[in-house]
Amino acid sequence: MSGDKVVVEHLNAWYGKTHAVQDISLSFPDKQATAIIGPSGCGKSTFIRCLNRIHETQPKARAEGKVLLDGDDVYQADPTEIRRKIGMVFQRPNVFPTMSIYGNVAAGLKLHGGYSRDEIDTLVIESLKKSALWDEVKEKLDQSALQLSGGQQQRLCIARALAVQPEVLLMDEPASALDPISTARIEDLIFDLKNQVPVIIVTHNMQQAARVADRTAFLYLGKLVEIAPTRDLFERPAEKLTESYITGRFG
Amino acid sequence: MPAPVERKALSEELNQLRENMETIATLSVQAIERAVAGLDSPDTGVVGDVGALDREVYGLKERIVRNCVETIALHAPVAKDLRTITVALEVTTDLDRIGRYAKDIAESAHELHREGDGRESLPKLREMGNLTVGMIRTAVNAYLAGDATSVSHIHSDDDAVDQFHDDLFQAIIDGMARRTITPRTGAECILINRYLERLSDHAVNIGEWVVYLVSGERPMRLPRRQTGMPGTPAPPG
Ligand SMILES: Nc1ncnc2c1ncn2[C@@H]1O[C@H](COP(=O)(O)OP(=O)(O)O)[C@@H](O)[C@H]1O
Ligand SMILES: [Mg+2]
């Protein structure tokens, strides 16, 4: 047993003929945030979408290789169950516009089923507290989620992801559409959350990777170039390509 | 690899830093060369010249530190860019100390020449000074060239300077005991002896920072040398 929560072995992913992820092997330990950086189109989103089997839901998309969650092969399990265990937060807060604040957080629980009303109440409140939104919304849980600011909406989506008690949290550029204060709030949240679940965050903001992640992986043209403790990667990257990218010397 | 990006604003800051580092390095090397040369013969110009160089070094150091802090604040440099800046800050501190010790040596030498005795120590101090100046030049050139190969001997040179220091210290004490040198002369000689020993430590520092700049490997600082006076027991550990 390696002690790693998620282990990825020789992962490959395609969209039709586009080979978007090429033979990536990586593991993610518990209680750590890992950032995935790299230029646009290098396969960051595709990579994390393979971890919870969202990738395969797109047309012509397929994946090969192994993803292990606590040693069990994700691709041998029920995909719906995997998507509950490995939660995901997207770049644009995807709130459900017709639902209340409460309804948005409860949505995942209702989707997966098997929760009593009381359980749902408890989990909604807990998740809103964990996502640091509770104090701002506790008086208006039944109001529309659309009245919330962008940053609040994103924290609402994080609450929804947390409500189903995931074992891993994936975040795809969760702060790239947010102002600096909202961004800082999300980063603080990641800092707290990683002690409960491993967080894997895709970001094109290098300073954000430096601020939130214990380890950083650099992807380029679908391949893993380097993964290292964040402190080492930004002070003395091992690979020339990483050096050029993080110093902003190529576009 | 996609087309390179220049990062013009950051590059301009780094070019400016490079120019300032060349200047401050040249000035502090000049200061210590002039001060050590002053050990040979009385020259009333040395104290003033070295003092002026030291003031320049100090002023430039203040400017370099300010610019480095601004560059960090504005450009959040990483990797080699970051090491370039942190190493410049470290090396600037060493160069500033070198300028300051140069001034101290010039002043002590001036006193020595006025006293007129104790000539027996001067050739040895001069020899030690040449070694120290050589180390500083090597380290500074390696820094400016961004090439760590020439600093590989610097630790053994430092050991030689330390040996000089210990021997000379004993000789000066003996001279004072035999009353062949006055307490005043002895004190000045002991000071110069110590300044030179410290100067070679600064050369070693610069050499180690060059290694870090080039390779990213942080200097493996040896425990500080036991600098207890000869004859006193070294602290335990
Ligand atoms: N739905 C899709 N259909 C076809 N190609 C896609 C699709 N999504 C991404 N790609 C391609 O896959 C590669 C990786 O994309 P992506 O994983 O989104 O990169 P990143 O998240 O690093 O910007 C790119 O070449 C992109 O054009
Ligand atoms: Mg993406």
CB spacing of B3 vs A234 below 8 angstroms: no
E-strand stretches of chain B: none
Residue A200 in any domain: the answer is: yes
Residue B225 in any domain: the answer is: no
Nearest CA-CA distance, residue B93 and chain A, Å: 21
Q: What is the predicted ipTM?
A: 0.79
Q: Is the CB of A45 under 6 A from ligand 1?
A: yes
CB spacing of A247 vs B81 below 8 angstroms: yes
Structure confidence by residue, pLDDT tens digits, B101-153: 999 999 999 998 888 776 777 889 999 999 999 999 999 999 999 999 999 99
pLDDT the model gives residue B115 = 82
Q: Looking at ligand 1, which residue's alpha carbon is closest to its atom 26?
A: A41
Give the C-alpha separation, A45 to A37, whole Å. 10
Q: Which domain holds residue A96?
A: 4-246
Could you give phi then psi for residue A37, rounded to 5 degrees? -120, 165
Centroid of ligand 2 to alpha carbon of A35 (angstroms):
13
Residue A240: exposed, middle, or buried by beta-carbon count in 10 A (0-12, 13-18, 19+)? Answer: exposed
Nearest CA-CA distance, residue A241 and chain B, Å: 8
Residue B236 in any domain: the answer is: no
The environment of the single-atom ion ligand 2, i.e. residues with CB closer than 5 A, is: A 45
Nearby residues of A121 by Cβ (< 8 Å), 6 or more positions away = none
Confidence of residue B74 (pLDDT cuts 50, 70, 90): very high
Q: What is the CATH number of the domain that holds A210?
A: 3.40.50.300
**Which member of A39, A243, A251 has the closest CB to residue B79?**
A243
Residue B3 in any domain: the answer is: no
CB spacing of A210 vs B81 below 8 angstroms: no
Q: What is the CATH number of the domain that holds B56?
A: 1.20.58.220
Centroid of ligand 2 to alpha carbon of B67 (angstroms):
36
Token pair 């395969």 is found at A56
Confidence of residue B230 (pLDDT cuts 50, 70, 90): very low
Cβ proximity of A247 and A233 under 8 Å? no
Residue B1 in any domain: the answer is: no
Q: A51 vs A16, A17, A88, CA distance in Å? A: 19, 20, 10
Nearby residues of A58 by Cβ (< 8 Å), 6 or more positions away = A15
Cβ proximity of A196 and A207 under 8 Å? no
Q: Is the dihedral of CA B86, B90, B95, B96 positive or negative?
A: positive
Could you give the number of structural domains in chain A?
1
Residue B72 in any domain: the answer is: yes
Residue B206 in any domain: the answer is: yes
Confidence of residue A250 (pLDDT cuts 50, 70, 90): confident
Residue B211 in any domain: the answer is: yes
The angle formed by the CA atoms of residues B210, B216 and B217, to the nearest 5 degrees, is: 85
Q: What is the mean pLDDT of residues A25-44?
A: 96
Confirm whether pTM is higher than 0.90. Answer: no
Residue B198 in any domain: the answer is: yes
Q: Tell me, yes or no, if A234 comes closer than 8 A to chain B by beta carbon.
A: yes
Residue A251 in any domain: the answer is: no
Q: Which domain holds residue B16?
A: 8-215
Cβ proximity of A127 and A160 under 8 Å? yes
pLDDT the model gives residue B118 = 66
Could you give the number of structural domains in chain B?
1
The CA radius of gyration of chain B, in Å to the nearest whole number, is 20
Q: Is the dihedral of CA A70, A72, A73, A77 positive or negative?
A: negative
